[in-house]
């Protein structure tokens, strides 16, 4: 078992342990004096894990209610958020009770935002069940919903009270969902951890379960350092966006269907590295990305992707902050005017 303390304004632990989902009630009981829990999940995770989570919470004295919504990004909507508020109201959740987000990034983001806003803030727990959620979205306190104007445009920073990460849950993931998370994992190696990157070069999508606890712990620890320095995403935290400017553009171009976030990040990292770093680094990144069955580029013309880049919410007026790794394990943030970014990418 690994326990990583995240020292943000409200410090909390990330517990990384195989089998922890089935004993989550013990962990939840250790961080709240309430014994009323509202579990929020989706209809895929419900079938796999809601029974175990509920059982463990009840064994530890919790009275539980649950709300289940359809799996998928379309559920990260204002309409679903409104239904979650109704559920919390009907469950008579008070400010001293606890909300449990059980699932992947969509569940974590919308439940976290409900927790940030309902009654002006209720404590919540993240039980991430996808690799992407375990290494990224469950840690760091970003919560959000999507609106017609764009993804994650409405949200709040709200740190969870504990994150319970069980690598055994990743065994039930379809390979493409595991690969989705590996896009972010490779990113962590590139931006901060050459040893992690070298480890990833020795495994592949079929064999990486053997090192999953180590992978998750390394990624969470990298995110810990970044988030502790820059919780509100005004500077250093931007390095977590390596590959994301083009990645988000690729996701947007595909209308967020049939093309995962991890695919976008992988292709985005490869494209920018090929253009702006040495051929040797670009080749190493490309072969690592291929090991995890992720794309190393795109056939979509840059002229079609660039309009999506200048819509990215991370841009500042007239400029784009892009991230480049000239060596493995080291990232730089570079701010350029939008036309200069276009010139670099089209060159």
Question: Is residue 291 within the footprint of ligand GLY (CB under 6 A)?
Answer: no
Q: How far is the CB of 107 from ligand GLY (least distance, A)?
A: 16
Q: Using CB under 6 A, which of 54, 76, 142, 248 touches ligand GLY?
A: 142
C-beta atoms surrounding 66 within 10 Å: 17
Please, which contacts does 248-251 make with residues 24 or more away whose CB atoms are closer than 8 Å?
248/151, 248/308, 248/309, 248/312, 249/305, 249/306, 249/308, 249/309, 249/312, 250/298, 250/300, 250/305, 250/308, 251/151
Matching residue, tokens 């171009």:
253
Produce one character per residue of 22-48: b if its CB has 16 or more CB atoms within 10 Å, e if not: ebbbebbbeebebbbbbbbbbebbbee
* Between 142 and 192, CB nearer to ligand GLY: 142
Length of the chain counted residue by residue: 347
Sheet holding 36-42, edge to edge: 2-6, 12-16, 162-165, 123-128, 98-103, 36-42, 63-69
**Contact status: 187 vs ligand GLY (CB under 6 A):** no
Q: Which of 240, 249, 272, 289 binds ligand GLY (CB under 6 A)?
A: 240
Report how many residues bind ligand GLY under the rule CB under 6 A: 6
Among 104, 112, 140, 247, which residue interacts with ligand GLY (rule: CB under 6 A)? 140
Least Å from the CB of residue 72 to ligand GLY: 19
Q: How far is the CB of 258 from ligand GLY (least distance, A)?
A: 22
| Cα 206 from Cα 127, distance rounded (Å) | 24
Q: Which is nearer to ligand GLY, 129 or 241 (CB)?
A: 241
Task: Single out the residue of 54, 76, 187, 237 in contact with ligand GLY (rule: CB under 6 A).
Answer: 237
Is residue 147 helix, strand or coil?
strand
Site membership for ligand GLY, residue 136 (CB under 6 A): yes
Footprint of ligand GLY on 292-311 (CB under 6 A): none
Residue from 17, 198, 214, 233 touching ligand GLY (CB under 6 A): that is 233
Residues that bind ligand GLY (CB under 6 A): 136, 140, 142, 233, 237, 240
């Amino acid at each position: 078992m690994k326990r990583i303390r995240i020292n943000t304004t409200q410090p909390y632990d990330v517990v990384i342990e195989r089998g922890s989902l089935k004993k989550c009630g013990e962990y939840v009981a250790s961080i709240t004096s309430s014994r009323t829990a509202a579990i929020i999940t989706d209809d895929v995770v419900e079938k796999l894990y809601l029974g175990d989570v509920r059982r463990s919470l009840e064994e530890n004295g919790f009275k539980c209610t649950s709300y289940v919504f359809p799996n998928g990004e379309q559920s990260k909507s204002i309409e679903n958020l409104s239904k979650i508020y109704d559920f919390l109201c009907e469950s008579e959740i008070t400010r001293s009770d606890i909300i449990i987000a059980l699932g992947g990034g969509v569940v974590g983001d919308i439940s976290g935002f409900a927790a940030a806003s309902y009654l002006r803030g209720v404590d919540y727990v993240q039980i991430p069940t996808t690799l992407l959620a375990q290494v990224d979205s469950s840690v760091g306190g970003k919560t959000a919903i999507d609106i017609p104007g764009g993804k994650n445009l409405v949200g709040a920073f709200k740190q969870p009270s504990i994150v319970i990460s069980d690598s055994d849950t990743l065994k039930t993931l379809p390979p493409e969902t595991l690969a989705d998370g590996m896009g972010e994992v490779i990113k962590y190696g590139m931006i901060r951890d050459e040893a992690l990157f070298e480890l990833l070069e020795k495994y592949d999508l079929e064999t990486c379960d053997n090192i999953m606890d180590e992978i998750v712990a390394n990624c969470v620890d990298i995110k810990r350092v970044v988030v502790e320095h820059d919780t509100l995403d005004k500077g250093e935290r931007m390095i977590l966006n390596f590959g994301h400017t083009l990645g988000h553009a690729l996701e947007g171009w595909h209308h967020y269907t049939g093309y995962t976030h991890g695919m976008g990040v992988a292709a985005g990292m490869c494209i920018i590295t090929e253009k702006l770093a040495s051929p040797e680094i670009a080749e190493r990144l490309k072969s690592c990305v291929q090991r995890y069955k992720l794309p190393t580029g795109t056939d979509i013309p840059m002229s079609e992707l660039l309009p999506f880049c200048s819509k990215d919410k991370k841009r500042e007026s007239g400029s784009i902050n892009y991230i480049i790794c000239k060596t493995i394990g080291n990232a730089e943030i570079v701010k350029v005017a939008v036309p200069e970014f276009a010139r670099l990418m089209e060159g």
